[in-house]
């Protein structure tokens, strides 16, 4: 998980530092953002001081109605030694008492011109992406017809060669060999490449090739949501492979279950075309068209007709 500091917010959002520059390197440890409304009334029993504090129009209006003594007391309690920062929205004027307390305690005050709801949603998305659960998996991630396909299998089974064929056919490489995966939201996995091997493919016999240099900027993507897992395995003549597609296999990565298809590899099978069709079939299923189920229903109705005919 990456470390997020208050200065990262200044660099990534259109914010202005108004006070407390000594605290710019404070660490933000949670993606939750607090609006200290109840705290403005003086109730600090459950004050989440480790969170980024966001003051909107409502909080500021209440604060401005307090006496000078109450204002000083509230901002002293707001500005703790672990509070990563206070964001004031809507380009509101910041009272001097707040600036003084922030400078004294080293809590950065960041100023935004945007509406409160917009600031909250953008900051929350940014922090949740940074704090998302994270793992790395051995495989290749390719964007095939807009579907993020994670190709897995034993070393040497032909994952990178298949990815190369897919790129040649106009699809886009996201990551080869190692795929960094973070879980965004409860049902969404985003995959990307480690920076060291970004846009590179390792092909046995050729070595490392740069896909972007060879095939152009349209042949790569920096990240992609993973929707489908294709597991390549050497053909085992004693194993029964699914021939209809009625058995929906699943694989769990972190908390998310994804559909998984196992494709046996043997000479003469064009894996790239099979993966293209798997991606298109996945899209069709999402639209409500399931060829395997339609075939099964057709077969059942023919059997029923034959039975009726003999009766």
* Residue 153, marked binder: yes
* Residue 159, marked binder: yes
How far, rounded to the nearest angstrom, does the alpha carbon of residue 157 sit from its chain's CA centroid?
28
* Residue 158, marked binder: yes
* Residue 219, marked binder: no
* Residue 296, marked binder: no
Q: At what angle do helices 68-78 and 96-105 cross, to 10 degrees?
A: 30
CA distance 29 to 36: 18
Sort 301 into a burial class: Cβ within 10 Å, 0-12 / 13-18 / 19+: exposed
Residue of 76, 177, 283, 285 marked active site: 177
* Residue 73, marked binder: no
CA distance 215 to 201: 12
Is residue 111 part of the annotated active site? The answer reads: no
Is residue 177 part of the annotated active site? The answer reads: yes
* Residue 53, marked binder: no
Residue of 204, 243, 266, 309 marked active site: 243
Is residue 138 part of the annotated active site? The answer reads: yes
* Residue 306, marked binder: no
* Residue 130, marked binder: no
Residue in 229, 291, 214 with CA at minimum distance from that of residue 263: 229
Contacts of 90 (CB under 8 A, 6+ apart): 56, 57, 112, 113, 114, 115, 116
Residue of 138, 225, 250, 269 marked active site: 138
Contact 89, 115 (CB under 8 A): yes
Residue of 26, 51, 111, 159 marked active site: 159
Residues recognised as catalytic: 138, 159, 177, 243
Q: Which residues are annotated as a binding site for ATP?
A: 153-160
Q: Which residues are annotated as a binding site?
A: 153-160, 202
Q: Which residues are annotated as a binding site for Mg(2+)?
A: 160, 202
């Amino acid at each position: 998980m990456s470390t997020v500091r208050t200065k990262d917010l200044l660099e990534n959002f259109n914010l202005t530092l108004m006070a407390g520059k000594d605290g710019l390197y404070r660490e933000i440890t949670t993606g939750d953002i607090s609006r200290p409304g109840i705290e403005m009334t003086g109730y600090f029993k459950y004050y989440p001081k480790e969170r980024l504090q966001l003051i909107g129009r409502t909080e500021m209006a209440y604060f401005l109605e307090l006496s000078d003594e109450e204002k000083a007391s509230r901002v002293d309690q707001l500005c703790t030694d672990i509070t990563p920062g206070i964001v004031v929205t809507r380009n509101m004027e910041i009272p001097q008492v707040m600036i003084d307390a922030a400078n004294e305690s080293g809590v950065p005050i960041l100023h935004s011109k945007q509406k409160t709801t917009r600031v909250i949603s953008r900051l929350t998305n940014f922090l949740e992406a940074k704090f998302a659960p994270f793992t790395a998996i051995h495989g290749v991630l390719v964007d095939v017809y807009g579907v993020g396909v994670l190709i897995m299998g034993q070393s040497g089974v032909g994952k990178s060669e298949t990815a190369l064929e897919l790129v040649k056919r106009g699809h886009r490489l996201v990551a080869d060999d190692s795929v960094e995966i973070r879980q965004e939201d409860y049902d969404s996995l985003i995959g990307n490449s480690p920076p060291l091997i970004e846009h590179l493919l390792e092909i046995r016999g050729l070595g490392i090739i740069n896909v972007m240099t060879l095939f152009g900027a349209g042949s790569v993507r920096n990240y992609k949501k993973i929707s489908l897992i294709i597991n390549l395995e050497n053909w085992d003549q004693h194993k029964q492979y699914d021939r209809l597609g009625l058995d929906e296999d699943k694989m769990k990565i972190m908390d998310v279950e994804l559909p998984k298809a196992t494709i046996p590899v043997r000479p003469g099978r064009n894996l790239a075309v099979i993966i293209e069709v798997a991606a298109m079939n996945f899209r069709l299923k999402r639209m409500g068209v399931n060829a395997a189920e339609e075939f099964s229903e057709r077969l059942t109705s023919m059997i029923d007709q034959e039975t009726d005919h003999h009766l």
